[in-house]
A and B are shown apart, each in its own frame.
Chain A
Amino acid sequence: MRELLDDLMGRFPSLRGQLLADDDLAPFVNVYVEGEDVRTRDGLETPVDDGSTVILLPAMAGG
């Protein structure tokens, strides 16, 4: 997961502040692999298989 996010942030540098805090996932974003929160697995070390669906879920307040 860390590798994947590094690659993404390399391509879209402004994402860094939206995703990471103190080199870990920021508390206002959740990352899911195949519908499972990576925090309930190995965090940024969670393996991601080819073809897996990864979702970055930001907190949104709009209503």
Chain B
Amino acid sequence: MPSYRDLLQATKASVEEVDARRAQELLEADDAPLLVDVRERDEWEQGRIPGAVLVPRGNLESRIENVAPDRSRPVLLYCAAGNRSAFAAKTLTELGYERAISLAGGYEDWKRDGLPTELPRSLGPERTTRYSRHLLIPEVGEEGQLRLLDSRILLIGAGGLGSPAALYLAAAGVGKLGIVDADVVDETNLQRQIVHSSNSLGEPKTDSARRTIEALNPDVEVVPFRERLTSENIDRILEPGWDVIVDGADNFPTRYLVNDASVWHDVPVVHGSIFRFEGQVTVFKPGDGPCYRCLFPQPPPPELAPSCAEGGVLGVLPGVIGSIQTAEALKLALGIGEPLVGRLLLYDALSGEFQEMKLRKDPACPVCGESPTITDYIDYVEFCAGVGH
């Protein structure tokens, strides 16, 4: 009966082996092999060869087809010292892979030769559990979840729309949430602004929202801006860099500032607005579709633009619209799906209907058009007095 040593020797003799230098040459070639790490997850987490995919030896037969569906593409396997990868190469040959190569000396030799390694990021056990329902979705997975944890989303307003957005973005594990709001929580807010509660009456909305978010998910860093957005502070607030802006402002001056800034800073805006039973959602993505001014070149006169404070709003409406905004923001952060760019979704709670309208980039748009006439921020505050809050 052959010993382990005999079996290993026989296996090594029957498979193609390369040393670390030769492996690197193969990986740098145009027709590079697929690099598969067959070690266990805990070894992988301590360092790996860049570009490798993890398929532990124990799962090799069942999982390899998912990562390497094309059996004609060479596969380069490695483990710690070159033994498990030799057995793995033999198995792949038996599975019909045309060229399975084992890295002799394994990761240890690779490292010893000073070849590049990287520390892979992984979620770790707690986050793997917390985000398990995301991890199960192929479009998100561990990589997507790590991307969310790295993403930075700025919320304009912690009111009706900002509340569900803050909660769901936080729950989703968006790593950094900026919140711009100058208001304090008052009793009339609580009918719809679910990030706040009776306990936070009189408190700045940024503080109240931050407390709720931190209790929901400690992975999220909240960056509060307890100020009203103006032409003076908007560049400073956008300066740290945001991946997506979720516009849940309650007044026109802010919406035009956000639009103009987003075009100049090249940040996509997920726009939502609500009134009574109706809401609108769209995505303004600079360079890729229209902006708010393509749709509405200038704000309506104040007497024609009642705010929620004057016109009322069904409490759940911002829940619907703010949640759709959140779905769009997450899609943008993950780089998946078809964002609502160039499309406006109109929801009417009374009729229970959604309508979709096509939005087109206006070549004559004063901000994003061919010859812009607006090149500096405009504070509409003065002649929109009375609108808002």
Q: Which residues of A contact B (CB under 8 A)?
A: 17-18, 26-30, 32, 35-37, 40, 53, 55, 57-63
Contact = CB atoms under 8 A, between A and B. Distances in A.
B276 to A, nearest CB: 9
Nearest to B279: A60
Interface in B327-374: 344, 346, 355-360
B257 to A, nearest CB: 12
Nearest to B344: A57
A54 to B, nearest CB: 11
A55 B295 CA distance: 14
A14 B250 CA distance: 24
A30 B252 CA distance: 16
Interface in B146-169: 157, 159-162
A63 B357 contact: no
A37 B359 contact: yes
**Residue with the greatest number of chain B CB neighbours at <10 A, chosen from A30, A35, A40, A61:** A61
A27 B300 CA distance: 8
A61 to B, nearest CB: 5
Contacts of A62: 160, 250, 273-275, 307-308, 311, 313
A18 B301 CA distance: 9
Given A63-B157, A63-B159, A63-B249, A58 B295 contact: no
B178 to A, nearest CB: 16
Interface string B302-322: 001101100101000010000
A35 B160 contact: no
Ordered nearest first, which 8 A-B pairs have the shortest CB separation? A28-B300, A62-B308, A63-B248, A60-B273, A59-B296, A63-B250, A63-B161, A60-B275
Given A35-B355, A36-B358, A55-B355, A61 B346 contact: no
A41 B212 CA distance: 48
A40 B363 CA distance: 12
A57 B280 contact: yes
Contacts of B387: 61
A63 B272 contact: yes
B278 interface: yes
A59 B305 contact: yes
A63 B162 contact: yes
B311 to A, nearest CB: 7
A44 B295 CA distance: 17
B295 A61 contact: no
B121 to A, nearest CB: 35
B250 to A, nearest CB: 4
6 contacts: A18-B300, A27-B298, A58-B300, A60-B275, A60-B305, A62-B307
Contacts of A27: 296-298
B255 interface: yes
B299 interface: yes
B389 to A, nearest CB: 10
Given A37-B357, A57-B357, A28 B298 contact: yes
A41 B246 CA distance: 31
A61 B307 contact: yes
B251 interface: yes
A26 to B, nearest CB: 7
A59 B299 contact: yes
A40 B360 contact: yes
B252 A59 contact: yes
Counting chain B CB atoms within 10 Å of each CB, the highest count among A17, A30, A62 belongs to: A62
A21 to B, nearest CB: 10
A62 B366 CA distance: 23
A28 B360 contact: no
Contact of B304 (A17, A30, A36, A55): A17
A36 B342 CA distance: 11
